[in-house]
Amino acid sequence: MSDLSRFSVSIDESLLRKFDAQIESQGYPTRSKAITDLVRESLVHEEWKAGDEVAAAIILVYDHNRRDLSRRLTHIQHDHYELIISSQHVHLDHDNCLEIIVVRGDPEDVERLAHKLKTAKGVKYASLAAASTGRNL
């Protein structure tokens, strides 16, 4: 376990009340845990801006009956095989599929791949969940 440091923060009382209500509704056990998560989120954001190697998940929902869509999505992924660590394909119902693609690499390359997948005709929903390799946290 790492050493903990204590510090004090001055904050407007009404803002603190709103923050406390928010973290309570989210189930945070303490302000410290909530603030630690905010700091880490900020550091991850900086990793993405700095161009450091990052990790992410690309989430897609699409109709597998859409003409040629599954083949096009697979082709895009094969064109970017060096970024892809893993993928999981889930059949949500008779028509709809959920695909989760775990990636690692340069942030611009990851975003480019996510954009190509998102804009493929027939994709109903796409999201990029930015993460970190954890080395700099």
- pLDDT attached to residue 137: 86
Q: How many domains are contained in the chain?
A: 2
**Cα–Cα distance for residue pair 100/98, rounded to 1 Å:** 7
Residues 114 and 70 in one domain: yes
Residues 101 and 119 in one domain: yes
In the block, tokens 């930015």 appear at 130
User: In terms of C-beta density within 10 A (0-12 exposed, 13-18 middle, 19 or more buried), how is residue 101 classed?
Assistant: buried
> Residue 44 corresponds to which tokens in the numbers above?
């991850």
Residues 46 and 58 in one domain: no
**Cα–Cα distance for residue pair 19/41, rounded to 1 Å:** 16
Report which residue type is found at 135.
R
- pLDDT attached to residue 1: 53
- Is this structure's pTM higher than 0.75? yes
User: In terms of C-beta density within 10 A (0-12 exposed, 13-18 middle, 19 or more buried), how is residue 99 classed?
Assistant: buried
Structural domain of 23: 13-50
DSSP state of 3: P
Residues 45 and 61 in one domain: no
**Cα–Cα distance for residue pair 49/43, rounded to 1 Å:** 10
Q: Say what the alpha-carbon torsion angle 23, 26, 29, 31 is, to the nearest 10 degrees.
A: -20
At 105, give phi and psi (nearest 5°): 160, -160
- pLDDT attached to residue 136: 85
Give the CATH number, domain containing residue 125: 3.30.70.1150
Asked if 73 contacts 124 with a C-beta cutoff of 8 angstroms, the reply is: no
pLDDT per position in the chain (137 positions), as tens?
568 899 999 999 999 999 999 999 999 999 999 999 999 999 999 999 999 899 999 999 999 999 999 999 999 999 999 999 999 999 999 999 999 999 999 999 999 999 999 999 999 999 999 999 999 88
